[in-house]
Amino acid sequence: MPFVQQNSQTFTRANIEVITPGQMGVYGIFKTNRWIYVGRGDIRNRLLAHFNGDNTCITGELPTHYVDEVTTSYIQREKDLIRELTPACNQRVG
């Protein structure tokens, strides 16, 4: 099942910084017709780290948007989303 809320935001520092700190869940980073990365954890902190270039694969893909989902079952949810969306910068999940 794709992200519960399909309300994507432009992948900018300003948009990421307004996310409430400490919100745990999953997020997806993408550009037109291509999922780049799906991750989990503190959504704001993780997106800021990616925006600041912590992953060269993500940076090289030139992401334009992100979507996030607050959930307590973020570990399993991340695995499910990676299997479904097959993002370019995630390793395959068994």
Asked if residues 30 and 79 have their Cβ atoms less than 8 Å apart, the reply is no
d(CA 37, CA 89): 5
1 vs 59, which has greater pLDDT? 59
Joined together, the tokens standing for residue 90 give: 């995630």
CATH class for domain 9-85?
Answer: alpha beta
Task: Look at residue 83 and give its three-state secondary structure.
Answer: helix
Q: pLDDT value at position 4?
A: 82
Q: What is the pLDDT of residues 18-41, one digit of tens each?
A: 999 999 999 999 999 899 999 999
pLDDT in tens, 27-81: 999 999 899 999 999 999 999 999 999 999 999 999 999 999 999 999 999 999 9
